[in-house]
Amino acid sequence: MKCDVLIIGAGIAGCTAALKLSSDKKLKILLVTKDADVKKSSTFLAQGGIIEKGPGDTKEKLVKDIMSAGDGLCNEKAVETLASEGPRLVRDFLADEMGVEFTMQNGKCDYTKEAAHSVYRILYKNDHTGKEIEEKLILGVRGRRNIKMLSDHTLIDLVTIPHHSTDIRMIYQNKKSVGGYFLDNGKRKVRMVLAKKVILATGGIGQIYQRTTNPDVATGDGLAAASRAGVEIINAEYVQFHPTSLFHRDLDNFLISESVRGEGGILKDHRGKSFMEKYDRRGSLAPRDIVARGIFEEMTTSRRDYVYLDLASHMKAEHIKERFPLIYKTCLDLGLDITKKMIPVAPTAHYFCGGIKVDIDGRTSLENLYAAGEVSCTGVHGANRLASTSLLEGLVWGSRCATDIRAGIKNEKLVHENEIKTWVYFGKEKSDAALIRQDWNSIKSIMWNYAGIVRTEQGMERAVLDLAYLKQRIEKFYRDVELSREILELRSGVQAALVIAEAARRNKTSRGCHFVKK
């Protein structure tokens, strides 16, 4: 299969890139998703909102807030770009062109505020903003004739020259990306896709942890493929843990949006006493890394598995139901009426602040390969992401990737199929589901205990050693058994986990999400 631009992943970054590219009617764009449900992504699950420009807000204020939350590690040029271009894209592209409907009050857009924001600047759709955005973007993608969607296909590896070239003399050429190998999950056959340009928009790595708000597709596929291809990865130690996910035996890891605290929700201990003031003057509205560690400390001290988030004592029931309908209904279905009772919450792996290093246009260290969204690292988030910047970053860099590709793609030639090695099938055996499940349990346990919210040098050393050994076993397993989505995800998961653990071990300095206990 051939195309001009191959985009892997259909969240806000991938869809935005595809839609922006499609304005050039001559371009053939292929958008690939791992799941049969093309909407399954972290974008779809995003509750809180997306930054625009609220009353009294300025670019300078937004830049300052992002830089402050990023704990001194943000790429200022990238932050300036986000603050300059993001609000306009939200208005002109999402709202006006795509028809995204944000919550209104008295005929005007309603703005909310979340932790570490100095002003009200976040647009939202009740508590399911991502769902509204993703559905409108997918609708737009399906309406463009030069965008083809290929669902239910798992990324195996990037196709690169000279590594996959049939001509050994290509070793004298610059290394570049020319496509990808994919497994058709249903037919269990490998499909090679060749392209002039490739965009990785595969999302995050949350599934390598025991607790995560991420969807089950977030197994680090893009990060792992880039790592195997020798693409530069930075800031991988900075994994953000969301402070408040629901703690319940029947529905663990359901996100309780930060906007709940932005609207006045207060974190309390088992005695019903507010505790975050002990850790930061901003209390429950401190940056996520501080709040997550504060909750972790309270849980450790009290020897309990959760704390509470209180809305009921100071927020009217009707406002709770209207402002947070998804959270209210989900909790009520579990027998918890949040208009009367506090919500049991605990931290959970949420967002990968590091990733594939990209420049201001989304270009990676590998020629013709771009990355956008959570799989990438623009430097916007630094050591800790400011709330509601993730959707905006995906929007901005999805657009910037498209602009850069349109400007340079005329000079690119598509490689011929005869120039690239066909896929060789190795494994013949059926994979044992119990082995896959056990290996995943090992990865998740190692990362949660040794590379989680609070880390130690001894723990990080153990994580690297254990994961390196596990990776060897899984690589052999991968080559011995028939290809499947499950074995490919396991291979990606252990690779991504090892990248993160190695980065954490190298960095002895506590900063933001990477907290090393001495």
Query: Is pLDDT at 159 greater than 80 in this prediction?
Result: yes
In sequence order, the β-bridge partners of residue 181 are: 157, 192
> What's the CA gap between 416 and 188, in Å, rounded?
24
Q: In what order do the strands lie in the sheet with 239-246?
A: 239-246, 343-352, 307-310, 266-268
At residue 451, the pLDDT reads: 97
User: Which CATH number fits the domain 433-506, given the four candidates 1.10.10.10, 1.20.58.100, 3.20.20.70, 3.40.50.10470?
Assistant: 1.20.58.100
Q: Is 288 a catalytic residue?
A: yes
Percent of the chain with pLDDT over 70: 100
3-class secondary structure, 482: coil
* Closest to 227 (Cα-Cα) out of 503, 508, 507: 503
> What's the CA gap between 226 and 371, in Å, rounded?
10
Query: Is pLDDT at 253 greater than 80 in this prediction?
Result: no
Terminal Cα-to-Cα distance of the chain (whole angstroms): 53
What is the residue extent of each domain of the chain? Answer: 244-349, 433-506
- Report which of residues 173 and 12 the model is more confident about: 12
- Model confidence at 95, in pLDDT bands (50, 70, 90)? very high
In one-letter notation, the amino acid at residue 24 is D
pLDDT tens digits for 29-55? Answer: 999 999 999 999 999 999 889 999 999
| Lowest-confidence region among 89-103, 417-431, 489-503 | 417-431
- Report which of residues 74 and 289 the model is more confident about: 74
Whole-prediction pTM: 0.94
Query: Is pLDDT at 251 greater than 90 in this prediction?
Result: no
| Given 288, 455, 491, 505, the catalytic residue | 288
Question: How would CATH label the architecture of 244-349?
Answer: Alpha-Beta Complex (3.90)
Query: Is pLDDT at 407 greater than 90 in this prediction?
Result: yes
pLDDT mean over 198-217? 96
> What's the CA gap between 511 and 249, in Å, rounded?
33
Go through 112-130 and write b for each residue having 16 or more CB atoms within 10 A of its CB, e for each that does not: bbbbbbebebbbbbbbbbb
